[in-house]
Amino acid sequence: MLEFIQLLKQRYQTISQYIKSESVRSVYQQRIDQQILAEALIRKGDLLNRNPEHPLQIAVVGPTQAGKSTLVNLLLNSQDAGVSPLAGYTVHSQGFCNGLSHDRCSDLQQYFGRFQQVSPVQLSKDRYDCYALSENTGRSTLLPACVIWDTPDFDSIDAAGYSEALIRTLALADVIILVVSKEKYADQSVWDLMSSIQALQQPTLICINKLVEGSETIVIESLKQKWRQARSDELPAIVPLLYQKHPVALAVPDALAGSMRALPRGLKRDKNDARLQDYLKQHWQNWLEPIAAEHQAVHEWRMLIDELIKQALHQYQRDYLNHPHHYETFQNAMAALLNLLEIPGLARVLANTRKVLTWPVKQLFRLGSRKLRLADSSQEVVLLNQLAEHLLIQLADKLLDKAEQNYGNQWWKASVGLLRARRQALLAEYSSAANRYHEQFQQEVDAAAFRLYHQLQKQPAVLNSLRATRVSTDAAAVALSFYAGGIGLHDLIITPAMLSVTSLLAESAIGTYVGKVETELKQQQLQTVRQTLLIEQLQRTLYQLPQQLVYDTYFNLTPEQLQAAEQQLKQKPHGLRLL
C-alpha cells in the first residue's frame, strides 16, 4: 500500500504542474496533501510496530502569528523555540525532547524518510526537506516525557512549499495542541486543517492566545460553533491565554496545566491501523476519480476499436469471401491442382509432380517470387489495406466526437493527435503483416489443392477425363505458364482451359467435395484474417496506443495496479502496515 500511495502522489504532483485551471490544481494539491498524510500514517504504524514504547509525540499547530513557538517555550520552560514577530518565521518542524535523551528518538529518522534530521542551527530557509531535533534545555513541570513539536504555519503565502513537514508531524503526533489568536481563530484555513485530521482521532487541546480580558466568553462561544461546523467529534478543552506585554514572564494558567495533564489519557495508539484504514476509505474514491475517468476512456476506446474491427470483418466477408467476382483464393487452389495433375506427354511435369507429392504440404511449392507477385496484385491484399485505412479514418472521426462530447477531457484530444501522428506507421506495419499473411496462407491453398487431388485419385473416371482431354493438356500448359510467371491469376481464371476444368469438377462425382473444400478454405481464411490481421496486428496495436500518451500529463495506472491496491485496502488493518 505504501508503494501505491507514493506512486499515486508522484503522479498527482507531476500532472498538477501541467494543469492550467486554478480550481483543478487546488483540488489536486489537496489530494496530494491527503496522500502525504496517508503515507505518513503508514510510516507511523511501522514505527509503533517496531517500538510500541516510542515516546509520546505532541504537535503544536496553528496559523501565522498565533503564538505557537511562544506556547512551546512556555510548556518547555525554556527559550529553545525561536520566536519572531515576522510572519512565517518557522518553516521547519522542530522537535524538543523533554525528559528524554536524544538517543531515545533515534528511530524518528526512519519515520521522516527523505527529510534529514539536523540541529536547529543548521536549519535553512533555502531547504525545506529537513527537521530539527534537540533536547530541552529547561525543566518543564507541564509536560510528561515526550517530544513536543513546533510546526510551520499553514496559511501564509509560502506555506505550500513547506506544508509536507507540517503534514508529517501531524501524522506522527499522538496529541494535538491547536493555537489560534483572537484574529485568526475564525479563519477557514484553520478549520480546513482540523477537519482534515478528524479521522486520526487525536486528543486535542485548543489554546486561544492574545485575548483581551473580558472577551473570553464571546470568542470561546464563537470558536465552539466553528468546531461543530468543521468536526463531528466531541468538543475538546479550550484554554484562553490573555495578552501579556513582553518582557513580563508569561504566567501559566491553571486551566492549561490541568488540560496538559489530561491530554494523554485519551491516547489510543493501538487504534492507529484502524484509523489509517478509515482515512484511506474516506478519500479513496476521490483520489481515484481521474484514474477512473482514464480507465473509462480506455474502455470506450477499446469498444470503438472492437466495433470497427467487427465492421471491417463483415466488409471483408461481403466484398471478398462472398463476392462472386473478387474471390480468387479458391481459383488459386485450382491452379495448384492443375500443376499436380499428371498429363500424358508432359514427362517433366510428371516427374516434378511425383516429386512434389512426396513432400510435406507446406513444401509443395517453393515459389517465393510468385508469392510476392500474388501479394502485390491480389484483390484480397488490396481490400485488406483499404479496410485498415478506412478503419483508422472512422476511428479518428469518432475520437473527435468524443473530444467534443467530453468538454475539458484532454485525454480524447490527445488520443486524436497521437493517432494522427502514428497513422502512417500503423498502416505500413499492417500492410507488411497483410503481405506476410497472404504469402503464408498459400500453404493452406496448396493443402486444399492436395486434398482435391487425393479425392480425384479415388475417382479414376474423373481423373482420366481430365487427363484424356485436350482441355486438360491446355490447362496444364496454362498452369505451368502461371507458375512460371507468364500470366497472372486473373488471366488464368478466365482462360477457356481453366473454365473447362472448373466446370468438369463441379459437375463430376466429386463436385460436392469440391464445394466443401471451398467452404472450408473460406472459413479458415476468415478466421486467419480475423486473428492474424484484425486482432493480433490491428486491434492489439490500437489497444496499446493510449499507453504512448505523454506520461507527464496522464496517470497511466493500470487496472491491475488499482486492483492490487484495493485488495490491500479490503484486508484487515494489519495488512496495511509497512513490512
Q: pTM (2 decimals)? A: 0.72
- Tens-place pLDDT, residues 279-329: 898 899 999 988 888 888 889 999 999 999 999 999 999 999 998 777 888
Residue 386 β-bridge partners: none
Residue carrying C-alpha cell 508531524: 169
pLDDT score for 362 = 36
Task: Please say if the pLDDT value at position 356 is more than 50.
Answer: no
Distance between CA atoms of residues 351 and 213, nearest Å: 121
Helix (H, G, I), strand (E, B) or coil at 238: strand
Query: Which cell goes with 496?
Result: 477457356
Q: Round to the nearest angstrom and report the end-to-end CA distance of the chain.
A: 10
Contacts of 254 (CB under 8 A, 6+ apart): none
Task: Please say if the pLDDT value at position 209 is more than 80.
Answer: yes
Question: Rg (Cα) of the chain, in Å, rounded?
Answer: 40
pLDDT score for 474 = 52
Distance between CA atoms of residues 455 and 508, nearest Å: 12
Distance between CA atoms of residues 273 and 45, nearest Å: 6
Torsion angle in degrees (nearest 10) through CA of 475, 479, 485, 486: -10
Task: Please say if the pLDDT value at position 180 is more than 70.
Answer: yes
Q: Could you tell me where the beta strands, DSSP code E, fall in 378-432?
A: none
Domain boundaries, the chain: 1-53, 54-267, 286-555
Q: Which of 86-95, 163-172, 231-240, 539-548 has the lowest mean pLDDT?
A: 86-95
Residue 247 per-residue DSSP state: T
Number of CB atoms found within 10 A of residue 538's CB:
26
- Tens-place pLDDT, residues 495-534: 555 555 666 666 666 667 878 888 888 999 999 999 999 9
Q: Are 363 and 478 within 8 A, CB to CB? A: no
CA proximity to 131, closest of 92, 102, 164, 158:
92
- Tens-place pLDDT, residues 405-427: 765 567 888 888 889 999 999 99
Task: Please say if the pLDDT value at position 450 is more than 80.
Answer: yes
Number of CB atoms found within 10 A of residue 344's CB:
11
Q: How much of the chain exceeds pLDDT 90, in percent?
A: 27
Task: Please say if the pLDDT value at position 469 is more than 70.
Answer: no
**CATH value of 54-267 in 3.40.366.10, 3.40.50.300, 3.90.25.10, 1.10.10.60:** 3.40.50.300
- Tens-place pLDDT, residues 104-137: 888 888 898 888 988 888 888 888 889 999 888 8
